Amino acid sequence: MIPPEPVVERPHVTVVMPVLDEERHLADSVARVLSQDYDGPLDLVLALGPSTDGTDEVAARIVREHPEVRTVPNPSGRTPDGLNAAIAASEGEIVARVDAHAEIPTDYVSTAVRVLQETGADNVGGVMDAQGTTPFERAVACAMKSPIGVGNARFHVGGAAGEADTVYLGVFRRAALERVGGYDAHFARAQDWEMNHRIRTSGGTVWFTPELVVTYRPRSSPTALARQYHGYGTWRRVVARRHPGTANLRYLAPPAMVVGTGAAALLGTVVPIARAVPLAYVGAVTVGGIAISRGERWSTRVRVPLALGVMHWSWGVGFLRSPRRLADGPGV
């Protein structure tokens, strides 16, 4: 007689999702969470900000239809506040962060739990797979997947599994979140990088795996993209001021480019040869943008240099203009 296979107890996983003005996407995002193939306990906590569309009505309907879904208020509407509120209301020993417009595959939770158990890491995450529908969105997606656009971070461009500074979204051990005190609510942006830094400096491990791939929808206009990347640059400098020594070349390249190119352009008004610097930047972005978008239609390819320029300059200007007072707020 063949003995029965031992029953493996799966850890309880709670998915936490900050939600603000997501009427169009919330139902689909929740459906993707509830359709996970994970064979252990799984529930979902939505942190509802002060939405101005029909998000609250959609959330109420979801809760009525699915008892494994709960909501908590997030009066400020800020992402770190919502995440902390949802984590406080959660019960799982594993906490998975998912954004309300992210598209996770069916095996996302089961894969993340397996990798956590195999590696002993405190947080695992994977690839932020940018996918657009309009020509400009597709151009931004090309830029976001290339080192020319965002540097060599593996969660953007892919790579081998291993320890990382930070990862996209993240699936955490509750013990690690409790050890570092959760997200620092002061950080309007870059809160993931900042908390992962504290996890690592407290002795924990952040692990990247290419097995986890999450579809991300890029901004749909140059203005929206500029606002997003200006915020990234602004708050990444706040992280650098809070945690000296963490600003590597990837983060310093855009502000250095802004200073160098801007200074050369001004100097070029009196020393014509200096104009070669901004012209070289435009040429490099144009050639590089066309090169990294092979296989795309020309309606997308011609927009990639614009996307690259917006990302570089917005990040760089945001970093340079980041007010020092932002680093003086309360920490965890």
Asked whether the predicted pLDDT for residue 6 surpasses 70, the reply is no
> Quick one: pLDDT at residue 250?
83
Closest to 153 in 3D by CA, of 100, 210, 75: 210
Asked whether the predicted pLDDT for residue 332 surpasses 80, the reply is no
CA gap 168, 129 in Å, rounded: 10
- What lies within 8 Å, CB to CB, of 29 at 6+ separation is 17, 22, 98, 99, 100, 101, 102, 103
> Quick one: pLDDT at residue 290?
96
More confident residue, 2 or 131: 131
Indicate the helix (H) or strand (E) that contains 16.
Answer: strand 13-19
Asked whether the predicted pLDDT for residue 328 surpasses 90, the reply is no
> Quick one: pLDDT at residue 38?
97
User: Average of pLDDT values for 321-332?
Assistant: 81
What pLDDT band is residue 5 in, cutting at 50, 70 and 90? low
CA gap 134, 77 in Å, rounded: 28
Is residue 85 within 8 A of residue 17, CB to CB? The reply is: no
> Quick one: pLDDT at residue 27?
93
> Quick one: pLDDT at residue 1?
55
> Quick one: pLDDT at residue 245?
85
User: Average of pLDDT values for 278-284?
Assistant: 96
> Quick one: pLDDT at residue 3?
56
User: Average of pLDDT values for 33-45?
Assistant: 97
> Quick one: pLDDT at residue 94?
98
What is the pTM (predicted TM-score) of this model? 0.90
Asked whether the predicted pLDDT for residue 4 surpasses 60, the reply is no
Mean pLDDT of the chain: 93
Is residue 126 within 8 A of residue 209, CB to CB? The reply is: yes
- What lies within 8 Å, CB to CB, of 284 at 6+ separation is none
295 phi-psi bin (left φ>0, alpha ψ -120 to 50, beta other): left
Q: Among residues of the chain, what percentage have pLDDT more than 90?
A: 87
- What lies within 8 Å, CB to CB, of 22 at 6+ separation is 29, 51, 55, 100, 101
Residue 16: phi and psi, rounded to 5, are: -115, 135
> Quick one: pLDDT at residue 9?
78
What pLDDT band is residue 24 in, cutting at 50, 70 and 90? confident
What pLDDT band is residue 37 in, cutting at 50, 70 and 90? very high
Closest to 116 in 3D by CA, of 177, 195, 199, 205: 205
Helices assigned H by DSSP within 90-153? 108-119, 135-144, 147-150
More confident residue, 309 or 7: 309
User: Average of pLDDT values for 222-248?
Assistant: 93
Structural domains of the chain, ranges and CATH numbers in brackets: 13-219 (3.90.550.10), 238-328 (no CATH)
CA gap 9, 94 in Å, rounded: 13
Asked whether the predicted pLDDT for residue 280 surpasses 70, the reply is yes
> Quick one: pLDDT at residue 251?
86
Query: What would the pLDDT profile of 137-186 be if each residue is shown by its tens digit?
Result: 999 999 999 999 988 889 888 899 999 999 999 999 999 999 999 999 99
Query: What would the pLDDT profile of 241-271 be if each residue is shown by its tens digit?
Result: 999 888 888 889 999 999 999 999 999 999 9
